[in-house]
Each structure stands twice: as structure tokens, then as C-alpha cells.
């Protein structure tokens, strides 16, 4: 019998919540077969069976367990008896002995109907958001043909079957509190609504509090004239094939940041255990608003990617965040973060560092102002405010100013971004 324990799916993961089992209790599974969907502190991920055999589920959907806790066991390969009962070879031998009178009563056998499922959805693969949406609209997942990877049902498939618009978010299921802890009241006496934090919100709250308490932050800010960057984007849009991905202003900022990070390695580093860690790769995280928190997927090797590659990858990652299908590897390895609230009309943003990174860049909205050109004529100019929050243990004022100025120079002469 092999124990299947709660896996450590990210560096910061301390516990995980079982969302659903993709195989039924007692069903035979193969090594490497998708087995269970687990919600971590960063994402929801499908975990594969580490061994082959008959599955014995220990922890059910909704249970939150620490890393290393047993969630299931896998025994020897199972056989199926008439009537749909599943038995292991050990049980098979015991029943043979009982039949010829050589042993006492046979061990009890787990009765499981063929094709049944512990979570009511059979072995149908579907994203967690799709499952919640299907439950909300009474859609049978087994009747759908999934359009996702390996036939997985997505929320778009469910929305189409239910005849409803594709939602931006579907409320996540909340695991019941432990029996030893009293459940929080749904509302206070004065009518104040009380809401439990999701797992992701708990992690974000803890990390932000730790960052503010332990990291000596400071900010530097700069105004960037992005008229040339906007003109470059317009040119790229005009030259793009129909349906092609056109780099956004944020993609230009990601590229400019990546090139500046390559020239300023301290900004691409971390302060850890009294030492500077200078990372060999430039991996830029992009803050994406999810259903209940801010999630930061990573564009790896952003300094060596083309603008088109950055744009394509940014859209892919943002879509996976919003669909709830992002995986821990896609959220790991970031060395710098760009957080853009310009689309919400914010003039400037002072972001909190994503520990252990050395800095994070806050991007404000583009605004038009009147200015004088080199000939003294009054002209319209497009300005954007960039704010760099820095860890003073690794970046000093002059370092931060030079790095931020490098980003500005690249955005104001953006043809270098296309080289």
C-alpha cells in the first residue's frame, strides 16, 4: 500500500484543500494518471497518481490538510467483481479461501458501481471554475465536450451549455471550518456582513503584512513621456495580421523593465539571510486581478523575448488566471513585478514589494497635458507616472533612480524595445 500525501506544489505552500477527486474510491488508477484537484496558496493544480493500484480515498472534497498529510492510499492493482465491486488481489485470495472453507469470513469488500465517482462528476475533467458554474446552473458536465487541453471542460463550455454569458468569476467553494472551531456567524447583530477570506486572500494578507513589517521600503517616482511608445504601438497594430496579438502599453513596459534589469542586476536580485542573491534570469511578474485577489504570473526570460512573444504570453497567463487554471510553476520564479492600475484611471500607484524581490514597479494611467516642445510651441503630451518601490537593504536611492531612469529612457526611445 502506497500513501499519497498532500504534495508541496509551491515553495510557500503549507497546506492544500482538496477540490475534487477525478477517480472514484476503489477505482483502479495508473501511475501518472490525473487523480485529484488541489487548491494551493497560489493556484489550483491537478496532481497525478504516483503509483498504480486500487484507490482508497482518505480525505474528501473540501478538506484542508497540511503538506505531508495522507490524503489517499493506493494498493495493488484492483479487479472488478460481478455487481461492480472492486477488490485487490489480497481480497481476491481471501475470498477464494472463504469459498472453499479454508478460512473464516472473508474481509469486507468495498462496493463501488462501475463508472461511479466520489465527487458526482465521474472522471470528467473540468476546471474548478467550470465545476462551480455547472453546479450553479444545473449543467451535466458528463454531457459536454470539453474544449480545453486533453478535452477538459472550461467555464466557456459550461456557459455555452447553460445559455449564459461567460462570467468574469464564479465564487469558490469554501471548506467548512474544523469541528473544534466555532463557525463564524453569517452576519453581526448590527447587520454587518462577515465574510471568510479565501485561501488566496489569507496568503496575500499574511505576506503583505510580513513585507510591511520586515522590509525597509522606499519609493522613487518619475514622469515618462510615452508619445513615442504610443506611436510605436499604433504602428505595430497597423502592421499586425488580422487577429494577431498586438503588444499593449503594459507589454512595452514589461520589455523596458526587463532590459533595464539586465543592466542593473541589483534590481533583479533579492536580499536573503544577510546576502545579495543576483538572479541569472530576468523573469518579470505581471499583476492580474483574479476573482478574489491579485495573482502574479511570471513571464520568464522577458529580456530575451520579442514584444510579440511577451504580448502573447501575457495574454495566455492572464486568461489562465481568470479561468482558475494557472499552475504553480507559472506563478514561480519571478525576479521583478509590474503592477499596472492605469486602466482604472489611477494617476499613480505605490505598490507593496512582492517579497523576496528587490523592487516592484507601479504604473499609472496615461494622461494628456499641455507642454512646450523644443521650438517653444505649446503641444499635447502624453505622460505616465511610474513609481518604483524598493527594498532598501539591496537597493539604495541612487541605484533605484538610475534603474527607473533607464526604464524611462527606453520608453521614450521605444525602437530599442523592438531590437
Q: Which residues are catalytic?
A: 392
The DSSP element (H or E) to which 174 belongs, if any, is none
The burial of 122, by beta-carbon neighbours within 10 Å (0-12 exposed, 13-18 middle, 19 or more buried), is given as: middle
Assess contact for 324 and 36: CB atoms under 8 A.
Answer: no
Output DSSP code: residue 193: B
Cα–Cα–Cα angle for 252, 254, 259, nearest 5°? 95
**Locate cell 462496493: which residue?**
111
Peptide bond into 5 cis (omega under 30): no
- H or E element: which one contains 281? none
**Degrees to nearest 5, angle at CA 402 with 397 and 408:** 125
Gap between the Cα atoms of 353 and 390, Å rounded: 7
The length of the chain in residues reads 419
Beta-ladder partners of 381: 369
Are 16 and 69 a contacting pair, CB within 8 Å? no
CA pair distance 241, 23, nearest whole angstrom:
44
- The whole-angstrom separation of Cα 13 and Cα 419 is 39
**Cα 260 to Cα 58, 225, 247, distances in angstroms:** 51, 17, 19
C-alpha cell, 401: 533612480
Pairing verdict, β 64-66 and 44-48? unpaired
Amino acid at each position: 500500500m502506497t500513501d499519497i500525501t498532500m504534495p508541496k506544489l509551491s515553495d510557500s505552500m503549507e497546506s492544500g484543500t482538496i477540490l475534487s477527486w477525478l477517480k472514484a474510491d476503489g477505482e483502479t488508477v495508473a501511475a501518472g494518471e490525473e487523480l485529484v484537484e488541489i487548491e494551493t496558496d497560489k493556484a489550483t493544480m491537478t496532481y497525478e497518481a504516483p503509483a498504480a493500484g486500487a484507490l482508497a480515498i482518505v480525505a474528501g472534497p473540501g478538506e484542508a490538510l497540511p503538506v505531508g498529510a495522507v490524503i489517499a492510499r493506493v494498493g495493488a492493482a484492483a479487479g472488478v467483481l460481478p455487481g461492480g465491486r472492486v477488490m485487490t488481489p489480497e481480497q481476491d485470495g481471501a475470498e477464494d479461501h472463504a469459498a472453499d472453507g479454508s478460512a473464516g469470513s472473508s474481509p469486507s469488500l468495498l462496493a463501488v458501481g462501475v463508472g461511479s465517482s466520489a465527487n458526482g462528476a465521474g472522471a470528467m475533467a473540468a476546471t474548478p471554475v467550470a465545476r462551480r458554474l455547472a453546479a450553479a446552473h444545473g449543467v451535466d458536465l458528463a454531457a459536454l465536450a470539453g474544449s480545453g487541453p486533453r478535452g477538459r471542460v472550461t467555464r466557456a463550455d459550461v456557459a455555452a451549455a447553460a445559455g449564459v454569458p461567460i462570467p468574469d468569476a464564479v465564487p469558490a467553494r469554501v471548506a467548512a471550518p474544523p469541528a473544534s472551531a466555532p463557525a463564524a456567524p453569517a452576519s453581526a447583530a448590527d447587520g454587518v456582513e462577515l465574510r471568510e477570506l479565501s485561501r488566496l486572500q489569507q496568503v496575500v494578507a499574511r505576506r503583505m503584512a510580513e513585507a510591511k513589517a520586515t522590509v525597509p521600503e522606499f519609493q522613487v517616482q518619475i514622469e515618462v513621456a510615452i508619445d513615442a511608445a504610443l506611436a510605436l504601438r499604433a504602428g505595430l497594430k497597423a502592421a499586425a495580421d488580422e487577429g494577431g496579438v498586438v503588444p499593449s502599453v503594459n507589454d512595452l513596459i514589461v520589455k523596458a523593465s526587463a532590459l533595464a534589469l539586465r543592466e542593473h542586476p541589483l534590481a533583479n536580485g533579492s536580499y536573503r539571510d544577510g546576502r545579495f542573491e543576483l538572479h541569472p534570469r530576468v523573469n518579470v511578474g505581471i499583476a492580474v486581478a483574479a476573482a478574489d485577489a491579485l495573482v502574479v504570473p511570471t513571464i520568464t526570460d522577458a529580456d530575451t523575448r520579442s514584444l510579440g512573444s511577451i504580448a502573447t504570453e501575457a495574454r495566455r497567463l492572464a486568461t489562465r488566471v481568470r479561468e482558475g487554471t494557472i499552475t504553480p510553476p507559472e506563478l514561480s520564479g519571478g525576479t521583478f513585478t509590474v503592477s499596472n492600475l492605469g486602466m482604472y484611471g489611477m494617476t499613480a500607484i505605490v505598490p507593496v514589494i512582492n517579497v523576496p524581490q528587490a523592487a516592484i514597479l507601479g504604473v499609472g494611467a496615461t494622461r494628456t497635458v499641455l507642454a512646450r516642445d523644443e521650438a517653444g510651441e505649446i503641444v499635447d503630451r502624453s505622460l505616465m507616472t511610474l513609481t518604483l518601490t524598493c527594498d532598501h537593504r539591496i537597493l539604495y536611492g541612487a541605484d533605484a533612480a538610475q534603474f527607473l531612469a533607464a526604464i524611462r529612457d527606453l520608453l521614450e526611445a521605444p525602437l530599442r524595445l523592438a531590437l
